[in-house]
C-alpha cells in the first residue's frame, strides 16, 4: 500500500471539510446541478479524447497503482537477481524451478530460464510484456490528467450557466440565491476534483511509470545475464548501474563468484 496517496487524500478532504464546517452547514455546499456538470461533463469530454480500450485498461490500472507500491525496490531487485544467479550457477536452470519471488514479472523471467527458452525468446517476450504494461500505465496517467484538465473548465461552464439563470430571474429574488450557489459550487467542485484528486494521481502515476520502467528493464537485463550463465558478482555489478550513485555504495558485498 502506498500510504502517502491515502494520507494525502484523507488530509485534503479533512482540510476542506473543516473549513466548510467552520463557516456553516455542510448542506450549503451540496449541489446536484454542480455534480452533474462537473462529473458528467468531464467524463463525456474524456470519452471523446480516448478510445474505449484505453479507458478500460487505463482507469483501473491507474487507480490500482496510485494506491500500491512495487513489491520490490530496485536495490532489492539487485540482491534478488544476484541470489538467483548464485542458485542458477550451483544447481543449473533446474534449480530455478523452486525459486519463489513476490514480483510477478521476475517470476515470469525465472520460469522462462528454468524452462530452457533461448535468449531471444526471453528478451522479446519480457520486453513486450514491459512495454504493454507501461503503455497502459501511461494511459491511466493521461486519462486522470485529462479529467483534471476538464473539471475546472466545466466548473466555469457550470458557473456561467448559473449566472445566466440568475440574471434571467432577476425579477424573482427567491431564485437568485440558489442559482448563485450553483454557480459558485460548480467552480468549487471543479477545482477540488482537479487539484485534490485527478492531477495529483496523474503525477503519482507518471512517477511510478518511471520506477516501473527502471525496475522491469533491470529485471530483463538480470534474467538475460542469468540465462547466459554470468557469475553472480558480474550480475550484481552490472545491475548496480540502475541505482542512484548514493545507493550503489549502500549495497552489501557482491556475491562471491
Q: Report pLDDT digits (tens) over 144-199.
A: 999 999 999 999 999 998 888 888 888 888 777 777 888 899 999 999 999 999 99
3-state secondary structure of 25: coil
What pLDDT, in 10s, does the model give residues 17-51?
Answer: 898 888 777 788 888 888 999 999 999 999 999 99
Residue 70 Cα distances to 16, 80, 87, 104, 150, angstroms: 31, 14, 24, 10, 30
Residue 202 pLDDT grade (very low, low, confident, very high; cuts 50, 70, 90): very high
89 is written with which cell numbers?
550457477
Contact criterion met (CB below 8 Å) for 251 and 240: yes
What pLDDT, in 10s, does the model give residues 69-104?
Answer: 777 788 889 999 999 999 999 898 888 988 888 889
What pLDDT, in 10s, does the model give residues 224-248?
Answer: 999 998 999 999 999 998 888 766 6
Spatial separation of the C-alpha atoms in residues 251 and 257, rounded to whole Å: 17
Whether 256 has a pLDDT exceeding 50, the answer reads no
Residue 204 Cα distances to 45, 103, 114, 150, angstroms: 22, 21, 36, 19
Q: Is 244 left (phi over 0), alpha (psi -120 to 50) or beta?
A: beta
Spatial separation of the C-alpha atoms in residues 104 and 131, rounded to whole Å: 15
3-state secondary structure of 207: helix
pLDDT at 148: 94
Spatial separation of the C-alpha atoms in residues 216 and 98, rounded to whole Å: 22
What pLDDT, in 10s, does the model give residues 117-134?
Answer: 999 999 999 999 999 999
**Higher-pLDDT residue of 69, 66:** 66
pLDDT at 41: 94
Q: Mean pLDDT check: name the lowest of 45-49, 52-56, 194-198, 213-217.
A: 52-56
pLDDT at 140: 92
pLDDT at 255: 43
pLDDT at 257: 42
pLDDT at 13: 92
Residue 254 pLDDT grade (very low, low, confident, very high; cuts 50, 70, 90): very low
Residue 249 pLDDT grade (very low, low, confident, very high; cuts 50, 70, 90): low
Contact criterion met (CB below 8 Å) for 182 and 169: no
Contact criterion met (CB below 8 Å) for 136 and 58: yes
Spatial separation of the C-alpha atoms in residues 98 and 181, rounded to whole Å: 65
Domain residue extents for the chain: 30-245
pLDDT at 247: 64
Amino acid at each position: 500500500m502506498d500510504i502517502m496517496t491515502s494520507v494525502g487524500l484523507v488530509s485534503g478532504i479533512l482540510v476542506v471539510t473543516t473549513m466548510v464546517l467552520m463557516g456553516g452547514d455542510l448542506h450549503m455546499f451540496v449541489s446536484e446541478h454542480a455534480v452533474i456538470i462537473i462529473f458528467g461533463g468531464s467524463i463525456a469530454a474524456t470519452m471523446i479524447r480516448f478510445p474505449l480500450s484505453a479507458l478500460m485498461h487505463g482507469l483501473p490500472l491507474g487507480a490500482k497503482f496510485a494506491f500500491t507500491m512495487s513489491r520490490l525496490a530496485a536495490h532489492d531487485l539487485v540482491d534478488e537477481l544476484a541470489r538467483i544467479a548464485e542458485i542458477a550457477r550451483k544447481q543449473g536452470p533446474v534449480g530455478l524451478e523452486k525459486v519463489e519471488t513476490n514480483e510477478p514479472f521476475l517470476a515470469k523471467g525465472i520460469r522462462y530460464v528454468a524452462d530452457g527458452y533461448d535468449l531471444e525468446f526471453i528478451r522479446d517476450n519480457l520486453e513486450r510484456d514491459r512495454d504493454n504494461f507501461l503503455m497502459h500505465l501511461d494511459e491511466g496517467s493521461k486519462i486522470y490528467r485529462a479529467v483534471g484538465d476538464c473539471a475546472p473548465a466545466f466548473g466555469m461552464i457550470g458557473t456561467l450557466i448559473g449566472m445566466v439563470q440568475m440574471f434571467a430571474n432577476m425579477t424573482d429574488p427567491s431564485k437568485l440565491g440558489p442559482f448563485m450557489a450553483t454557480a459558485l459550487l460548480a467552480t468549487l467542485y471543479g477545482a477540488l476534483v482537479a487539484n485534490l484528486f485527478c492531477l495529483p494521481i496523474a503525477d503519482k502515476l507518471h512517477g511510478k511509470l518511471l520506477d516501473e520502467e527502471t525496475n522491469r528493464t533491470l529485471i530483463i537485463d538480470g534474467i538475460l545475464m542469468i540465462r547466459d550463465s554470468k557469475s553472480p558478482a558480474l550480475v550484481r555489478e552490472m545491475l548496480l548501474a540502475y541505482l542512484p550513485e548514493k545507493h550503489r555504495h549502500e549495497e552489501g558485498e557482491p556475491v562471491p563468484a
